[in-house]
Amino acid sequence: MKIEDVGRNTKMLLNGIPFNVDDVDFMKPGKGRAVYRLRLRNLKENTVMEQTYHSGDDVEEVEVSSYEMQYLYQDGKSYVFMNTETFEQYHIPEERLGGREKFLKEGTTAVVQMMGEAPIAVNIANFVELKVVETSASTKTDSLVSQNKPVTLETGTAIGVPAFIKEGDVIKIDTRTGTYVERVTGKK
């Protein structure tokens, strides 16, 4: 396909690696060919880079399919997901989850992007609700000073939360930043 046909969310192959086009910036200088500056997101590593093309350049478009899958369990350094329609299971390496794997609990659904038969990216929800299974005891001075205390979630992940959170509370977490958003249960 020609560079002129590329738009946002086009999937393209660059050096054998699939990329998503996050942004296209078009510039037409007074002389010469038009310049297209693309902001590309690596679908395997979730990194961002910029690439410049000139009008008339060819790019290789790639077909990427998305499927809803259910997280089953962790198997060493990979995570096993099952396609909810075909019941096929896929072992997805930890690095394809981009650090968000620590918020996965068994039974969670996610959107898995596939290039052919190979899973290349996993998109879990931006917000998840998880139960606090362990926390340190709060003291009377905790309410005087605004600070976070460490808690352990049902997935085994430790994060900082406000002092009023206690064991058994269910809290909402932003999986993009790994931070506490709000308490869902245990409100008075």
Res. 148 pLDDT band, cuts 50 70 90: confident
pLDDT in tens, 57-115: 999 988 888 899 999 999 998 999 999 999 999 999 887 787 888 999 899 999 998 88
Q: Of 123, 141, 169, at which residue does a domain stop?
A: 123
Residue 103 lies in a domain: yes
Q: What is the CATH number of the domain that holds 22?
A: 2.30.30.30
Give the pLDDT score at 188: 45
Provide the 10 A C-beta neighbour count for residue 105: 14
Q: What is the CATH number of the domain that holds 168?
A: 2.40.50.140
Give the pLDDT score at 30: 82
Write phi, then psi, for 164 (nearest 5 degrees).
-80, -10
Give the pLDDT score at 163: 87
Domain count, the chain: 3
pLDDT averaged over every residue in the chain: 86
Q: Of 100, 123, 146, at which residue does a domain stop?
A: 123
Range of the domain at 161: 127-183
| 53, 75: one domain | no
117-156 b/e with 16+ CB inside 10 Å = b?
eebbbbebeeebebebeebeeeeeeeeeeeeebebebebe
Give the pLDDT score at 71: 95
Read off the pLDDT of each residue in 14-26 and give the average, rounded to a whole number. Answer: 89
| 108, 134: one domain | no
Residue 25 lies in a domain: yes
Give the pLDDT score at 151: 92
- What percentage of the chain exceeds 70 in pLDDT? 93
Residue 76 lies in a domain: yes
Residue 188 lies in a domain: no
Residue 89 lies in a domain: yes
Secondary structure of residue 169 in the 3-state scheme: coil
Nearest to 27 by CA among 15, 36, 40, 16: 36
Give the pLDDT score at 41: 87
Give the contacts of 9 (CB within 8 A, at least 6 positions apart): 20, 21
Cα(143)–Cα(165) distance, rounded to whole angstroms?
11
Tokens 């992007």 label which residue?
A: 113
